[in-house]
Structure formats: C-alpha cells, structure tokens
Homo-oligomer: A and B are copies of this chain.
Amino acid sequence: MNVRTPKPTPRHHVQRIKDRARYERNDAYAILDAGFLAHVGFCVDGQPFVIPMLYARIDDALVLHGSIASRLLGELSTGVETCVSMTIVDGLVLARSHFHHSANYRSVVAFGRARALDDAAAKTVAMAHFVDAMLPGRAAEARPPDRNELAATTVLHFDIVDISAKLRTGGAKDDRADINLPHWAGVVPMQLRYGTPQPEQDCAGNALPASVRRLLQRPPA
C-alpha cells in the first residue's frame, strides 16, 4: 500500500487538543475500515452540501456510492474539492459539570476530489467492496452486477490526498474543585449491535449465510 508522508497541511491540521489528533494514515484507515457510511461535503457556488454516502476504502482511495440527486452526483463527479467525514461514537462522557460533558469517539476527515468511474471492471470491483464494507465476506455470497446494473450505477472514486483522525477515549475530566460534588461521573459505553436477522419471505428456508453468522458472533467495531 502506498502510504504518503503524514505531514499535516493547513486544511487538515488539527489545531485544538492536539493529543486527540493522529496524522498517520494507518490510524485513520483503521477508523474508516470500521464503518461504511460517511458524510460527503462539497460546494456549489459557495453553497455547501453534505450528503450521506456508502463508501469502501481501496488502498489510498475511497469509492463512494449513494442514491443522492443525480444533479448533486454530477457536481461531485466534476472533480470539485471534496471533504469526506465519518465518526464512530464510542461512549457518553458524563462529568460533574455541563462544561466537561463530552463523547468518546473516533473520527476521520479526508480531503480530495472525486471522479466517476466509467470502467466496468473497476465499477464491479467497487461494488464488491461496498458490499464487503457493510458485511465482510458478503460479496462472495451474492450475484455481481450485470451490464445493465453497472450502467445504472454511479460510483465515485476519491483519491485521499489529505487525511486526519481524531479521537477521544477515557473518563470524565472534571475540575478538581468539582470532585466532591454529589454528582455521578463516568462513561457509558456505546456500541452498534446487530439484531435478529429478518429473512425475506421467499427465502425463509435458507440457512443464515456465513457472513451473517460471523457478524453475530463478533463484537462490532
């Protein structure tokens, strides 16, 4: 994998609380790889748009996919400056003071430009990555796209030019003067959990696939 020098440039340099910032690509990639939905921002004549999109990372790029208005997809695919942001919330941080309430989280902000893929093979690979980003191993359990489906799908390729990660872990950071207040302080962890799979009526007889069985066994990211 081609990892760039993690030297911060002005647009992604985290100014505040610098110990929460991680410029190393691999740290940011680990966070990206734990999710599959990002918020993608771009500007049209000074008007910002922030749109939820499915993504998957392929080396130093993201592929992006969403049912957003074709007008917006058209704007996005012209190669305008784009910012992709995603956050995983890991817990509520409850302090004795309102001021020190916070959240534990892992977040990534990536900058680059997007372009529409038009190569059928590359789009086919991207679609398998979207499916596997949602559920590892799932792409091998389903039918790849045919020619008509590829033609009907817009996939954007986003080269990650700058990226930074930021995270908060640990407990409440109360002021010393507040320690003896009678209020409880601590962290309530948060985690995405998967519920009981709901098969479609017309395949209710089929056994759960291996991807779903693994998902229900492992703790989520």
Contact = CB atoms under 8 A, between A and B. Distances in A.
Nearest to A52: B87
Contacts of A46: 43, 46, 80-81
Nearest to A49: B83
A75 to B, nearest CB: 11
Contacts of A48: 41-43, 48, 81-83
Interface residues of A, number: 98
A143 B189 CA distance: 22
Contacts of A14: 69
B184 A195 contact: no
A174 B201 CA distance: 12
30 contacts: A36-B103, A37-B87, A37-B105, A39-B50, A41-B41, A41-B50, A48-B81, A48-B83, A50-B84, A50-B109, A52-B85, A54-B103, A92-B194, A94-B142, A95-B142, A97-B142, A97-B143, A97-B144, A97-B145, A98-B144, A99-B145, A99-B149, A103-B134, A135-B188, A143-B183, A179-B203, A183-B209, A184-B203, A188-B197, A192-B192
